[in-house]
Amino acid sequence: MNVLANPHFGSVISESGHAYTWSENARELRLTPWYNDPVSDSSGEAFFIRDEERGHFWSPMPLPCRGATPYVTRHGFGYSVFEHTERGIRSEAWVYVAMDAGVKFTVLKVRNESGRPRSLSATGYMEWVLGDLRSKSAMYVTTEIDPNSGALFARNPYNTDFAGRIAFFDVDDITRSVSGDRTEFIGRNGTLQSPAGMGRVRLSGRVGAALDPCAAIQVPFELADGQECEIIFRLGMGRDADDAGNLVRRFRGSAAARDALETIWQYWKHTLGVVQIETPDQSLNVLANGWLMYQTLACRMWARSGYYQSGGAFGFRDQLQDVMALIHAEPRLVREHLLLCASRQFPEGDVQHWWHPLSGRGVRTHCSDDFLWLPLAVTRYVVSTGDTGVLDEPVHFIVGRPVNPEEDSYYDLPNRSEQTASLYDHCVRAILRGESYGEHGLPLIGSGDWNDGMNIVGENGKGESVWLGFFFYEVLMRFTAIARAHGDMPFAERCQKEAARLRRNIEQNGWDGGWYLRAYFDDGLPLGSASNPECQIDSIPQSWSVLSGAGDAKRASMAMDAVDERLVRRGHALVQLLNPPFDTSDLNPGYIKGYVPGVRENGGQYTHAAVWAAMAFAALGDSRRAWELLAMINPVNHAGSPDEVATYKVEPYVVAADVYALSPHTGRGGWTWYTGSAGWMYRLIMESLLGLRLEIDMLRLEPCLPADWDAFKVHYRYRETIYHIAIYQTHDGNGGMSVTVDGAPRHDRAVHLVDDRREHSVEVRIDTAPG
């Protein structure tokens, strides 16, 4: 599949051409239906081409009405293309979403290669939802032909959260016929594979209320031999009737459609072009130069939807992790999102676990790590960009009742508080909220930490998280520098003292003898211990013992050896999150146990954690194992042969959230696209392995390279200035590093970035001999 989106509108489309489209919120305001069908590729959007002489019709995409000959599907950044030839009629269907408006284009290019004149028609069909579920909203949707623009309009006046919105479906040709009656178009007990409307000469023109609502438009056309024509269907939504009419008029015509596509190409070329790499590993180049960043920005930040999840909501921790990967490509968006997340914080310091735009409805929980991602992300942004002014930005709180002790969470619409505080103060409140410890001196796990599925480890308010101890240590140490720079020395000292105490408690109570524990249950029983019958080891406390710097060096190294020995399954190219999976024992950490053993968090590969393991090996200087793990989790490497494709089963060009570790499905990819592991994998490649570190106007290079690499290149754009960086690896035995910029040596071994709109040449030589 592909995700086509701008910040306020988008569509998910499969290789078969089936799609669903939304405006503003992928769950709350769907224009067309999302079918959560794990078996078949269903859709409420369809297109047809018909031979008017014979009555034979087919789809320009593989579904719903497959033609007699093969199709070619191409997914690109911001667009998808479907190519097909049927009985001498060649078609190309280009599908894309405008960058700055709620409009989706389906541009159908049809060429007659049959050797004789042909009479044809093109038909586009949309089932209206204008809410979350068609079964709930269909009875309220009314359709009409707008007298000013001629477009087919649809509205749902009972959708109170999006009152006044007008959806439209339109095509340029004035000879078209239309229908707003789904029952009429499909036929009683009919299907889109063979709809009744395609057996009629033209559509009825029936629109209005009390219909089974849809939008169908049919355009007849003639083609001489060798002639080509272009039919442009537009699906969109406006804030009201005037806005919808303006969008219809603005984007009519081939020139407007072409301009919209050019704008898409230009945006993605510019955004993805900030960092481009040339390494000996072509699969690495494909991911890092485009698809990982595209997955993070288009899918995670804008669409907040994939084929297997139509979420629409912002997750507090989820998108904060995502934006940390955008620090090079879209720092403006990072800043905006930090302020947005701060506005979803309660005065007590906790936050909404997730919330729906535009309403703000969401859940308040006892989750213990959400709010801590805010100070960590703020620290990364300020250190990377030097934008200390963001710390003083005033942001409102939200107010609502606290979660009761016996509650896991509650869903509500909080009010906006009149109280404001600077972003810095929001971060401070988050950190203070995190200072809640159990009897082992470790952070309380609440209703779950990063692993939401461990939601009842601390259901009675006493369970503790070892991983959260490492993570909180990282937050405290990173934020210490921000507090100092902000002139808040007392809080900087408090952070340091808290971190030191936490570190002592982790070493005293978090070590199991060969690796670190995962958690303690309410009753004090350890989890992630060799003494447990299941989940004897969990990878994330081991990885974060290294990444945070809180773990004792010898113990952290032992812990990562245990990850390698007990969780890395080289024969199947996957890295388990924990092992053995939860199954038959009395251990019950939460809903994670509801997953089949070896699937998702319950002992499958959870790619987030697999990436963290690779980052930890890189931080230890173990380049061999760091690169080996990257090769194992690299999706491209799961499609090297027909057998591997048949095993993996999902897209090899984006990251899957999970990979199954259960026979007979071992190695099968799970939930793709809508996963935060894409942003983390981008950081693994760019930062942990290739060694790029941005510090305001300075680019530091500390790569951890495979022994057999002689060189690689990085093309880095700083604002509008290009730096061509060539990194050479030698094995001379001196262990040194040198940096030259335009022939001049840099003794601080860093590239000082200047926006002079010129191109600069940088040469870096690194000797990686042992010692």
- DSSP state letters, 406-446: T-SEEEE-PEEEEEEEEHHHHHHHHHHHH--B-TTSSBB-B
Distance (Å, whole) CA 595 – CA 291: 29
**What six digits make up the tokens of 560?**
């990562």
Residue 477 main-chain phi, psi, to 5 deg = -70, -40
Mean pLDDT of the chain: 96
Determine the residue type at 543. S
Q: What percent of the chain has pLDDT over 90?
A: 95
Q: Residue 37: which pLDDT band, with cuts at 50, 70 and 90?
A: confident
Q: Are 28 and 362 in contact (CB under 8 A)?
A: no
Distance (Å, whole) CA 648 – CA 646: 6
* HEC per residue, 122-149: EEEEEECCCECCHHHHHHHCEEEECCCC
20 pLDDT exceeds 60?
Answer: yes
770 pLDDT exceeds 60?
Answer: no
Q: Which whole number is the average pLDDT over 683-698? A: 97
Name the DSSP class of 403.
P
What integer pLDDT is reported at residue 478 of this predicted model? 98
What integer pLDDT is reported at residue 769 of this predicted model? 67
Q: Residue 612: which pLDDT band, with cuts at 50, 70 and 90?
A: very high
Distance (Å, whole) CA 764 – CA 741: 9
pTM of the predicted model as reported, rounded to 2 decimal places: 0.97
What integer pLDDT is reported at residue 749 of this predicted model? 80
Q: State pLDDT tens for residues 140-152.
A: 999 999 999 999 9
771 pLDDT exceeds 50?
Answer: no
497 pLDDT exceeds 90?
Answer: yes
Using the CB atoms, write b or e for 602-638: b if 16+ within 10 Å: bbbbbbbbbbbbbbbbbbbebbebbbbbbbbbbbbbb
Q: Are 727 and 701 in contact (CB under 8 A)?
A: yes
Determine the residue type at 463. G
Distance (Å, whole) CA 590 – CA 518: 14
Q: Which whole number is the average pLDDT over 449-472? A: 97
Q: Residue 36: which pLDDT band, with cuts at 50, 70 and 90?
A: confident
96 pLDDT exceeds 80?
Answer: yes
Q: State pLDDT tens for residues 143-192.
A: 999 999 999 999 999 999 998 999 999 998 889 999 999 999 999 999 99
Q: Are 97 and 78 in contact (CB under 8 A)?
A: yes
Q: Residue 736: which pLDDT band, with cuts at 50, 70 and 90?
A: confident
Helix pair 423-434, 331-342: axis angle to 10 deg: 60
If we measure between CA atoms, which residue out of 224, 207, 208, 225 comes closest to residue 216? 207
Q: State pLDDT tens for residues 614-654.
A: 999 999 999 999 999 999 999 999 999 999 999 999 999 99
Distance (Å, whole) CA 297 – CA 300: 6
Q: State pLDDT tens for residues 57-83.
A: 999 999 999 999 999 999 999 999 999
748 pLDDT exceeds 90?
Answer: no
Q: Are 352 and 364 in contact (CB under 8 A)?
A: yes
Determine how many CB atoms are found less than 10 A away from the CB of residue 238: 22
580 pLDDT exceeds 60?
Answer: yes
Determine the residue type at 62. P
Determine how many CB atoms are found less than 10 A away from the CB of residue 58: 22
What integer pLDDT is reported at residue 718 of this predicted model? 96
**Cis (ω within 30 of 0) for the bond into 280?**
no
What integer pLDDT is reported at residue 39 of this predicted model? 82
What integer pLDDT is reported at residue 732 of this predicted model? 81
What integer pLDDT is reported at residue 173 of this predicted model? 83
Q: Which whole number is the average pLDDT over 487-507? A: 98
Q: Which whole number is the average pLDDT over 447-452? A: 95
3-class SS of residue 97: strand
Q: Which whole number is the average pLDDT over 592-620? A: 97
Q: State pLDDT tens for residues 227-280.
A: 999 999 999 999 999 999 999 999 999 999 999 999 999 999 999 999 999 999
Q: State pLDDT tens for residues 309-341.
A: 999 999 999 999 999 999 999 999 999 999 999
Q: Which whole number is the average pLDDT over 692-701? A: 95
Distance (Å, whole) CA 348 – CA 370: 13
Exposed/middle/buried for 435, CB within 10 Å: 0-12, 13-18, 19+?
middle
